[in-house]
Amino acid sequence: MSSNSQLFRWASRSRPVLNGLIVPAARPSPSRLPCSSAQCLRRAYASATSPPPSPPGTAPAPPQLFDRNAKLLQRSRAALGSDSREVDYVREMVAESVGERVKDVKKQVEVLVDLGSGAGLVRKFLEGERMGLKKVLLCDSSEAMLYRDTNLDETFSFETERILLDEENPLLSSNVSPHLAEGTVDMVISAGSLHWTNDLLGTLIQIRRMLKPDGVFIGAMAGGDTLFELRTSLQLAEMEREGGVSPRVSPMADSRDMASLLTRAGFTLPTVDVDELTVRYPSSMELMTDLRHMGESNAVAGRRTLLQRDTLLASVAIYEALHKEGPRKFKTPDGQVHEIGGGAEEVELVGEDGYKEPEITEGVPATFNIIYMIGWAPSETQRKPLSRGSAKTSLKDVLDGSSSQS
């Protein structure tokens, strides 16, 4: 926010705070903190398993890091839950960023494919006459998630078509819609589903094959140090209580991996950047509860399905000890000292122009690293780098000339 006067209200400590903004939550009070049912204890985690050996003379199968069937059940159960729409705050931020990147592309796109679309949150950020968008194809493996928001279809200026498919193998559904065949799509987007893909390279290759020449792919996925606070807290708690460590948070790709994969998949002019979102919760219990309602619980293949109560409670304490910040004091231009965080209920900030607002530090932070990527299908019309040795001016001469002038 850029205004000089702001009012931060802490009516409920159970509200997550996203980058300084209080996000509405379905649970208005922290009374659900104690684990009163086995659901609080059922955390998915495990070690990855390798696929069976491939027959002689065939390419090795990609490692099955994730249980796709379990992930489908998690997402379908989440879509049918009463809290499903209340926990869309991270997805909406990602969808908005993807929508902005789509609008930055200077080309007409009549049909857009949203792979792993979920409920289609990105649609609200695609409105605009400049693109000439006529149809959006929402593609997802979870029928419950795909059809969750059908009541919103009439609010958009473009047509919405839904296709039930496996996001990991979109070309296998080309018989369902002509827009999924090879070389038929102007733009494919994916706003937050690729991090559950076993064969990420294979999926990117299929996306590139779906695109027309000079078609564009715009994607976003969780990666890097996403939820590192939760990962380390669970690992330390398990080492202390059980004498060993098991994977608690899914393995993530980083930005360098994605740049390499885009090139290997045959995309040209690849671009990768990373955005960091910080969400604050009263404790890691609310974080894990919201992850379950998002359908983002752990789905590592061969996972253990039970977390001991002592380990869970220890992880909550470790999370708070390592990552919770206390109250923060700051001074306004008029000399008044204010305090925010650590239990502050309400703070009104009044200052002169140029006053820098404080950061809300209530609760414990959870970090989401979102990797954004753009790749283009090869085309003869694209600009290409000059061949090696074709330069007419030596860089050495340029540097020598600038140093002599200085």
Beta strands 135-140 and 21-22: pairing type? unpaired
pLDDT at 333: 62
Whole-number Å distance between alpha carbons of 280 and 36: 23
Grouping H, G, I as helix, E, B as strand and the rest as coil, residue 222 is strand
- Which has the closest alpha carbon to 204: 126, 160, 136, 257? 257
Q: Structure tokens of 219?
A: 């994607």
Where helices occur in 89-128 by DSSP H, the ranges are 89-104
Residue type, 391: A
The residue extents of the domains of the chain are 38-51+61-322+363-376
The residue assigned the tokens 């290759």 is 205
Q: Between helices 228-242 and 284-294, what is the axis angle to 10°?
A: 110
The residue assigned the tokens 């380990």 is 311
Q: What angle do CA 68, 224, 15 make, to 5 degrees?
A: 80
Q: Between helices 228-242 and 309-323, what is the axis angle to 10°?
A: 130
Q: Give 228's contacts (C-beta < 8 A, 6+ positions apart).
A: 367
Residue type, 389: G
Where helices occur in 211-330 by DSSP H, the ranges are 228-242, 255-264, 284-294, 309-323
Q: Rounded to 5 degrees, what are φ and ψ at 74?
A: -60, -45
pLDDT at 374: 96
CATH top-level class for 38-51+61-322+363-376?
alpha beta
pLDDT at 25: 41
The answer to whether the CB of 126 falls within 8 A of the CB of 136 is: yes
Which burial class, exposed, middle or buried, applies to 295 when counting CB atoms under 10 A from its CB (0-12, 13-18, 19+)? buried
pLDDT mean for each 10 residues of the chain (406 residues): 30 45 39 31 32 53 78 90 90 94 89 92 84 89 93 92 89 75 91 89 93 94 91 90 74 87 93 92 92 86 78 92 71 62 44 50 85 93 75 77 58
Q: Which long-range contacts (CB under 8 A, 24 or more apart) does 399-403 make?
A: none
